[in-house]
Structures are given as C-alpha cells and as structure tokens.
Structure 1
Amino acid sequence: MNALRRLATLLYGADPGLRRMLHYWAATCILYVICIGLLMLQVEQGLSDPDAAHGLVAFGACGAFAFYVLIRANAVFKLASDQLAVSQAAFSLICAVWAYTISGPLRAAMLTMAVVVIVFCMFALRPRQTLMLSAAAIVGMGVTMWWLQAHDPVRFPPATEFLTFGYLAGALVSTALLSGEMSKLRARTKRQKAELSDALETIKVLATVDELTSLINRRHMNQVLETEERRHAPGAEACIALIDIDFFKQVNDRYGHATGDAVLRCFSAAARASLRANDVLARWGGEEFLLMLPDAPVEDARAVLERMAERVAAMVVPGLDDGQRISFSAGLARRRSGESFADAINRADKALYQAKEAGRDRIVLAEAEVP
C-alpha cells in the first residue's frame, strides 16, 4: 500500500491543484484510448489506411505524453491553467481533423469529437476562449474539407462536404454560445453563493455580537461558558466578574440616551484594552457586563479589574460635562473545583451587590475568596 502511495505521489505530485489538472489529463487520455481502439477497428475492417492511422496514434501518444510533462513540471514552466487547457483543446482538434481525413465512410462520425472538445472547453475556459477555439475548428475543418473535395471529389463529393461542414459549423457555434450562457450561470451562482455566505456571516454576527458595544452578547457568552466548563481541568483556576457602570441611569436621565450609548461604547473599548489575551468580556444586560478570566488566580483577576478601572476613569466621553468621571462596581468570584459557572456568577452577583451597598466604585471579592 505504501509503495502504491509513493508511486501515486511520484506520478501525480502532492499539490491538490496539480493533482486536479492531472486527473483531467487522465480523463482525456481515457478518451484517446477509446478513440484509438475504434480507429484500429476501422483499420481492421479496411475502412482506414493503416499507415495514416498508425501515424495519428503515434501523434496522439506523443502529444499526451508532452502535456503530462508540461502539467507535472508546471512549477518550472509556470503556464496558466487556461493556457494548458487551450493548448490541449487545440491539439485535440488537430487530431479530430486528422481522423476525419482518414476515416473514409465513417468520417462524419469524427466530427462529434470536435464538438466534444468544445464541450470540454465550456468547463475549463472563458467564453471568449471557447468561441475562438470554435472559430479555429470551423476554419480548420472548412479548409480541410475544401482541400479534400478539390483533390479527391470522388471520395469526398463537394455537395456532401459542403452540407457536412454546415452541420458542423452550426453545432460548434451553438456549443460556443451555450458556453457563454453557462459561464453567466456559473458567475451568477458564484455571486449568489457569496451573497448567501455574507448573509450567513451577518446573521452569525447579529446573533453573537452586541451591536452597540461590539462585545459578544449574553447568548454567545453562555455558549463560551459552556465550552470553558467542559475544557476546565480539575485544579485549574478561573475567575468570573460581574461589572456594573455606576449611576448609569442618572447619566441617561441627565444627558440623554445618545450620551448613555457613548458611555457604553467608550467603556467597552477601555475595558477590552485592559484584558489579557484569553479573557472574554460580554455585555450581560443594560449597563452590566460579565468578564470571564480563564486560568487566572484571584490576584491576577483583580489586577485586570483595577487596570480596567483606571482606564475607565480616564475616559473622555463625548456629551459629558468636563470633569464628569465614569466608574464601575464589580463583584469577583473564583470558580471552585467542580463548580458550574452559573453558581460562580451568582456569587459574583452577590459580591457586586455588596460593592454597590458599600458606596460603588470598588471591586469586592465573593465572601469565600476573602482572605
């Protein structure tokens, strides 16, 4: 199994993009092999010249190998994928024209291969490139048919060649036009997919982020707490703090809700600037915020809150009188081993109540945490 894997890596490489191009090449080679088998059957039935058929087989095999080398070593040649696709399509059209000239009474069947080549181009090339290849196929086949009927009118009657050319030109032009429509459809589908992705991202943000403060909301914070509760190793420390902006209702009543909103925005910015890398702050409701400090002893958690208090006190909030200072009260609790975050939040809430009762603008540890 390892030997087969190493052989596949040697033949196809490890890069996903390279492997995808070589898979397309392999699919083309399978089609070549089928066509060669049918051509050899024509030779056996006396419908095609053996020398001409063998020459076409050799030409096709050399071309397939050359394209394998170009694709496999594209890191050196640095050809764009559409350049390789155009080159392979042009090569296949040459093979189709050659097959037409040597297939005798079955030559009309060879025209289907030209149409198949253009259909392949619909998925790999831009509409303009497909249209140019269709035009090249029409011109190349037209010149070939004209030369054949001019030099061998018995085997290639002019009227038959003319009508055959008309059918081929109609099929190739129709296929090229359909390629343009398919390209538009793919572009529209891609655009709709991008719009849907953007809409889903917007919905996700609206469902998890508080629009005013840009902090995560209560709903998402509960999910974060559940995840942290599952992750929390026995003995590891984590702290929870409930924070309430002091006298926020008075700010709203005196300065208006627009200024109150500015206070909330400025507070969230100052608070986030005080956090450690893994700390999570959420708007818990109104002017109340919940802070989770994972892997933090009580001393470190208190230091974060004190740093936050200094930044909040230094805030300049548009709309407030000069000298108007914003402060907050906080209740801090260490989550005990095996304790749910809901219970830790309840203890932090009681500590917050004590902070308010004691005059606000202070941090109070839950009773069990006081030395």
Structure 2
Amino acid sequence: MTRPNSIWRALAGSERGLRRMLQYWAATALLYLAAIAMVEWQVLYGFSEVGAMRRLEVFGIGGILCFYFLVRFSTPLRLKPEVLAVTQALYAIGCGMWSYSISGPVRGAMLPMTVVVVAFCMFALRPRQTLVLTAVALAAMGGTMWWLQAQDPVRFPPEVEGITFGYLAAALLSTAVLTGEMHKLRARLKRRKKELELALDTIRQLATMDELTSLANRRHMNEVLAAEERRGPRGAGTCVALLDIDFFKQVNDRYGHAAGDAVLRAFAATARAALRSHDVLARWGGEEFLLLLPDASPQDARMVLERMAERVHAMRVDGLEQERRISFSAGLTERRDGEAFADAINRADKALYRAKEAGRDRIEVA
C-alpha cells in the first residue's frame, strides 16, 4: 500500500458506511468554512464586532474537528448515525443563535442556515424526529429573538423580530414537511429496489434452472460446457453422459402427465443426491438428461452412474404402482483433448441409443 493510500485509509477508514458519513461531514465542514468566510466580510464592513466574531470562528472550527473524530470513531464509540446527526444539528443551531445575536443589521442572513440544518438531517432522521428538531430550532431562535428585543429594543425592534420569526417558522415547518415526504419517497424507492432485486434473482433462476426439476436447464448447461471448454484440459479428464428415463411415455399414457411430472421431479432429486459435489446434471429435453463429470475417468464416471441407477431403482413415486420400478439408460463417453463438447455429446448419444437397443436399464460406454 502506498503512503498516500495508507494516509487516506487512516483518515477515512475502509468501511463504505463510514466513508459515506465522512462525506456528509465534509459537506457540513465546507458549509461552516463558507459561513466563516462570510463572517470575515461582516467584520471587514463593520457590521459585527471583531472579538465576538473571532470567538464564534474558534467555536465553529473546534466543532468541525470535534465532529470529525466523533464520526471517524463512531463504531468503537457506538454512536449511531441519528445520534451524530442530532448532535451536529443542535451544535449548528447553537452557532446560528450566536451568529444571529452578533451580526447586527445583516442578522437576517443567518436564518437560512437554520433551514439548511434541518434539511441536512433528512438523510438520518425519521419525519417525527425531524419535526421535533424543527420545534427545538424554532424555540431556540425564537428565544434568542425574544431575549434580544427585550434587552435592546432599539437595535432589535419587537415588530421586526416578530415578523422575522414568522418567516423563519414558515420556512422551517415547510422544510420539515417536505423532509417527511422525501423520507417516504426514499423508503418507497428502497422497497421497490428490494422488490426489483428479488425479481431479478427470480429471473436469473428461471433463466438457468428447469422449473419442473429444479436442475440446470439446457441453456445454462451450454454455458457451463462453454466455460469448461475455455478452461482447457484437466489432469483426470472430463466425461459426459446422456441419460434417458426408460418407458417414460408409458408412464404418461397409463398414469397421466401429472404422474409423469412427479417421476421427473423424483428422478432429478434422487439422481442429484448420487452425484459428486462438482458434477452438473441438467435437463436436456423431455425425459432426457445430460450429466457433466469433471475430473473423472470413465471408470469413475461409471461408478457415479451405477450409484445413481441403484438409487433410482429404489425410488418410489406417488401415483405409481408400488411394483413399478423406474430405471434409465445412459450413454457415457470421455471427452478427448481439445474436442468440442458437441462432438462428445454426439458420441454419448450414440452410446445411449445402443443402451436402449440392448434392452434399456444399462450403461453403454463410447
């Protein structure tokens, strides 16, 4: 790790949520610095007393640094985002009260900052919490205005302070209502995003999985085979087998298609339970299945198929007579070096045909 990266990691951490909170902190820090620059203008033009403004600037910069450490180490300190948001908001309201009381004739320009404080909290607080914060801001600023007009009615006429408070109340309450609506909108968007993600997961499953048997479908199996071809030769080789359930048409004709579907589902579950962890079984079409056996010699692959056949023989399916035994025929082949899977599957298909011609319920190796 380079030195600049290590410094950045130390300052911002590595967690995505923490970095997002520090981005919010950076935005508020820029706002504080912009306000301090405006304060310097007030002093330059003689609207505010230098000593009072310098104390406010030190208070503001100290708050910026303090909140950086609170946010940066919020995890070990167990400070929740909403707690940090409320704390920073109350601090900003205090700065607003202070700046309003010492800004002289331009004090009205301080009031939009109070509205900004409430707006910033919309990302961390619930609508009811935002309303409570709005009430606190109104009480704090209203108390400041009342105290100023009571102490110095010449510089702070009661009528002017009353009208100013009315405008501030209208702006804050409107912001609080809009913040509540924005919170509801964000909640709906999050809910719809989650629903969309679930729908996409379902679509992905439907695109890769056979709905009846829950096995890989032919399209997905072709993708697996293509990936296997790109991977190149393996040490132990790769085998493929085509499987066909014996006399499946008779099951459909005698017991109905519902029973046929039950046979397919039972066969898929039983066959899959007999496979190795990295084998892939797919429904290739109708009652035909394709089995990919990576890292397997023909002897190993045959053992897998024999184990599968034994379990399928013992399988019982609801809707069929107890003595009705399910079996399958299989054509097995080993993929040659550099051979396309289409050619290997073609040889397995010919072996499957021989297995059927020889009486079914058997495994033929090509």
Aligned to 1:327: 327
Structure 1 unaligned spans of 5+: 367-371
Which has the higher mean CA deviation after the structures are superposed, 57-66 or 299-308? 57-66
Amino acid at match of 1:173: L
Deviation at 1:234, TM superposition (A): 6.2
Question: How far has the Cα of 1:83 moved from its partner?
Answer: 0.7
Deviation at 1:123, TM superposition (A): 2.3
Is the contact between residue 329 and residue 362 of structure 2 (CA under 8 Å) also seen in structure 1?
Answer: yes
Q: 1:232 is matched by which residue type in structure 2? A: G
Residue 54 of structure 2 corresponds to residue 54 of structure 1: yes
C-alpha contact 2:239 2:333 (8 A) present in aligned 1? yes
Deviation at 1:235, TM superposition (A): 5.8
Query: Cα distance, 1:132 vs. partner?
Result: 1.2
Number of residue pairs aligned between Structure 1 and Structure 2: 366
Provide the rounded CA distance (Å) in 2 between the counterparts of 1:214 and 1:246: 21
Identity of aligned residues (%): 64
**In structure 1, what is the equivalent of residue 264 of structure 2?**
264
Give the whole-Å Cα distance in 2 for the aligned partners of 1:277 and 1:94: 64
Number of the residue aligned with 1:20? 20
Counterparts of 1:124-139 in structure 2, within 5 Å, are 124-139=124-139
**Residues 234 and 338, structure 1, Cα contact 8 Å, conserved in 2:** no
Instruction: Tell me the equivalent position of 1:9.
Output: 9
2:180 corresponds to which letter in structure 1?
G
Shift of 1:90: 1.1
Question: Residue type matched to 2:164 in 1?
Answer: T
In the alignment, which residue of structure 1 is the partner of 2:65?
65
Distance across 2 between alignment mates of 1:98 and 1:361: 91
Residue aligning to 1:186: 186
Q: Does 1:147 align with 2:147?
A: yes
1:111-161 deviations in whole A, cap 9, x for unaligned? Answer: 010011111112232222221111110111111111111111000001100
CA distance in 2, matches of 1:293, 1:10: 49
Once the two structures are TM-superposed, the CA of residue 229 in structure 1 deviates from its matched residue by 1.1
User: Which residue in 2 is equivalent to 1:305?
Assistant: 305
1:102 alignment partner AA? I
Q: CA deviation at 1:55?
A: 1.6
CA distance in 2, matches of 1:169, 1:135: 9
Any idea what SS the aligned residue of 2:291 has? strand
User: Is residue 2:107 matched to residue 1:107?
Assistant: yes
2:288: which partner in 1? 288
Give the corresponding residue for 1:238: 238
Q: 2 CA distance for matches of 1:13 and 1:229?
A: 43
What do residues 68-117 of structure 1 show as CA deviations (whole Å, max 9, x unaligned)? 22122223211101111111111111101111111001000000100111
What is the CA-CA distance between 1:228 and the residue it aligns to? 1.1
Q: CA deviation at 1:189?
A: 1.3
Q: Distance in 2 between matches of 1:14 and 1:65?
A: 20
Do the aligned partners of 2:233 and 2:338 also contact (CA within 8 Å) in 1? no
User: In the alignment, what sits opposite 1:369?
Assistant: none
SS at match of 2:333: strand
Give the C-alpha shift of residue 233 in structure 1: 2.4
Structure 1 equivalent of residue 32 of structure 2: 32
User: Following the alignment from structure 1 to structure 2, what is the Cα–Cα distance between the partners of residues 49 and 279?
Assistant: 81
Q: Distance in 1 between matches of 2:294 and 2:227?
A: 12
Residue 159 of structure 1: aligned partner: 159
Structure 2: unaligned runs, 5 residues or longer: none
Deviation per CA, 1:145-186, whole angstroms, max 9, x where unpaired? 111111110000011000000000000000000001111111
1:43-87 CA-to-partner distances (Å, cap 9, x unmatched) read 122111222112211221222222122122223211101111111
How far apart are the structure 2 equivalents of 1:360 and 1:26? 74
Instruction: Kindly report the root-mean-square deviation, in angstroms, between the aligned alpha carbons of the 2 structures.
Output: 1.4
What is residue 87 of structure 2 aligned with on the other side?
87
Q: 2 CA distance for matches of 1:18 and 1:31?
A: 20
What TM-score results when the alignment is normalised by the length of structure 1?
0.96
